[in-house]
Amino acid sequence: MPSLLEALSEDVGAAFAALDLPRELGGVIESDRPDLAPYQCNGALAAAKQAKRNPREIAQAVTDHLTTAHPELKIEIAGPGFLNLTPPAEAYAARANAIAADARTGGEASGEPIKLMIDFGGPNVAKPMHVGHLRSSVIGDCLQRLMRFRGHEVISDIHLGDWGLQMGHLITELQDEQPDLPYFDAAQDGPYPDQPPVSIEDLSRLYPQASAKAKEDAARNERSRKATAELQAGRPGYRALLAHFIAVSIQALRADFDALGVSFDLWKGESDVNDLIPELVEDFKVRGVAEQSEGAWIVRVARDSDKKELAPLILVSSAGAALYATTDLATILERRREQDPQLILYVVDLGQSDHFEQVFRAAYKAGLAQEGGLEHVKFGTVNGADGKRLRTRAGGTFKLADLIGQARERARARLNEAGLGAQLSEAEFEAVARSVANAAIKFSDLSNVRTTNYIFDLDRFVSFEGKTGPYLLYQAVRIKSVLRKAADQGLTAGDVTVGHDAEAALVRRLDSFSGALARAERDRAPNVLCEHAYGLAQAFSGFYAACPILPEKDEAIRASRLKLAETALRQMELVLGLIGLDVPERM
């Protein structure tokens, strides 16, 4: 069933067409003067301009035509020729009943389902995740949920950073600490122990230790470089160590991602495509995609139309090493062979824009992907109150695990203030605190326009008031509680009738879900979903304040309002689910 907005656009478009005016000018939008009418059409002005006629005259002609065809519709001409439109109560009721009966509560699937991959998260082995990885994780997870709900086939890949110089640092630093481990004996090639020689704590200590030394000491850095090159060339002891490092890191990462409720289909990394690199490089050389320059192999990707200079992509360094861009290209090749997606979305910070531009252009040039089949979904930084990138008090990088811990702490305090501690078992209380903390973190991130930076303010994010994740959970919980009481009293929901403005306003919000989904998909814009959830919560609030449910004496009206409340809750839980939030039973 079309939305109210689509049906209105259809009717007004037909009136334009009947008057020999362009049908598409009959498009209807939500009014920017809701005090006058809920919907408007501005097409008469554009039509008048095109036909060099008086806009009010055209508006009048359209109105006359519409009034004959749809006497139930209320139409007013305002200002220079705007059409203000108010659908009848029956149209609202019919739409509400259709949404209530729809398993997707009015949220339509895409008409053109595709197969896509989403590359997000992107944490680095042995380095703790920081808040930049948080953004990639929550935005990527929201997009994967949205795309699945829209009916697309989605494969998500965490794409671990596990192949650069940091691996050489870890290997050499470990060798200094434990030189007798079998992995360092070049004359041996296994078998090696099953148990890892390091814990995640060891890894997070070894890496900064080595990188600090390497900064001071060129020879130390050279050792790491050499170890990296040997690792990439396949030295068995080093490969065995790498496998341990990755397994230990993944175990720790899983804990953070589980806490956040973020999941991936594939836990692949840069190192997985190592064996494809020689073939890819050879192919690029033979076909002339790559050329030699100062001992390195590069791909020229600059275009005449570029406003700013884009450096060539370095495929193989002058030292013979494959770099970050090389692994990304090899990953495109691997994905083409294994999954063959029509689209790959890379959810990575804005700072890597040039990198992705280079990789995409090189991939198109080499025919690894169709033009437009690779897309960088960029995002801004998370800043502290000083407007600079968020740091710890000591000035270090903000660890994701600490951030989650702090949010939980605030959530517990807030829930205790609300008196929930005394009502729930400890396990239930912890589960609610987890939901509230995640809602705070995710909503405050996702509600921003993706490419802007935002200031991290945990107190505001955790508040139950204002435009926050916890506020939305709270509204949903409130509806649940009304419905529980209704069930206890044996009340049942029935057909929706619309007799109050606040009911119509709620139906309009429910109606706008499909449009919001389509826009969120088109613009890869989680904030559109956040806006929809917030608008719905507010519309429900307005409805609940104006239209009593349980105390209502008229049985049919009460049943109708119950149905509206049920439907609002279902759509609310759905959209919150797409954002990655789960609604507790009470809070």
Binding region for ligand ARG (CB under 6 A): 119, 122, 124, 159, 161, 328, 346, 348
- In angstroms, rounded to a whole number, what is the distance separating the alpha carbons of residues 7 and 583? 33
Residue 268 C-beta: closest distance to ligand ARG, Å = 10
Residue number with CB closer to ligand ARG (12 or 363)? 363
Residue number with CB closer to ligand ARG (159 or 508)? 159
- In angstroms, rounded to a whole number, what is the distance separating the alpha carbons of residues 297 and 294? 8
Name the amino acid, one letter, at 315: L
- As given in the structure block, the two tokens for residue 36 are 């006058």
- In angstroms, rounded to a whole number, what is the distance separating the alpha carbons of residues 192 and 247? 15
Residue 527 C-beta: closest distance to ligand ARG, Å = 22
- In angstroms, rounded to a whole number, what is the distance separating the alpha carbons of residues 175 and 144? 41
Phi, psi of 40 (to 5 degrees): -145, 160
Quote the radius of gyration of the chain (alpha carbons, Å): 29
Residue 129 C-beta: closest distance to ligand ARG, Å = 9
Residue number with CB closer to ligand ARG (127 or 410)? 127
Residue 110 C-beta: closest distance to ligand ARG, Å = 25
Residue 158 contacts residue 264 (beta carbons within 8 Å): yes
Residue number with CB closer to ligand ARG (150 or 159)? 159
Residue number with CB closer to ligand ARG (359 or 502)? 359
Which sign, positive or negative, has the C-alpha torsion 443, 447, 451, 455? negative
- ∠557-561-566 over CA atoms, to 5°? 150
Contacts of 265 (CB under 8 A, 6+ apart): 154, 155, 156, 157
Please list the helix, strand and coil fractions of the chain in percent, rounded to the nearest 5, in that order: 55, 10, 35
CB atoms under 10 Å from CB of 98, counted, come to 16
Residue 225 C-beta: closest distance to ligand ARG, Å = 19
Residue number with CB closer to ligand ARG (124 or 358)? 124
Residue number with CB closer to ligand ARG (345 or 404)? 345
Residue number with CB closer to ligand ARG (63 or 232)? 232
Residue 198 C-beta: closest distance to ligand ARG, Å = 20
Residue number with CB closer to ligand ARG (175 or 204)? 204
Residue number with CB closer to ligand ARG (82 or 346)? 346
Within 366-512, residue ranges assigned H as helices are 400-417, 426-446, 458-462, 469-488, 501-511
- In angstroms, rounded to a whole number, what is the distance separating the alpha carbons of residues 95 and 89? 10
Residue 18 C-beta: closest distance to ligand ARG, Å = 53
Strands 374-379 and 153-157: unpaired
Phi, psi of 193 (to 5 degrees): -60, 150
Residue 340 C-beta: closest distance to ligand ARG, Å = 18
Peptide bond preceding 584 in cis form (omega within 30 of 0): no
Residue 182 contacts residue 193 (beta carbons within 8 Å): yes
Give the distance, in angstroms, between the CA of residue 548 and the centroid of all CA atoms in the same chain: 36
Residue number with CB closer to ligand ARG (119 or 202)? 119
Residue 383 C-beta: closest distance to ligand ARG, Å = 18
**What's 52's DSSP letter?**
T
Residue 526 contacts residue 143 (beta carbons within 8 Å): yes
- Length in residues, the chain: 587
Residue 501 C-beta: closest distance to ligand ARG, Å = 49
Residue 132 C-beta: closest distance to ligand ARG, Å = 7
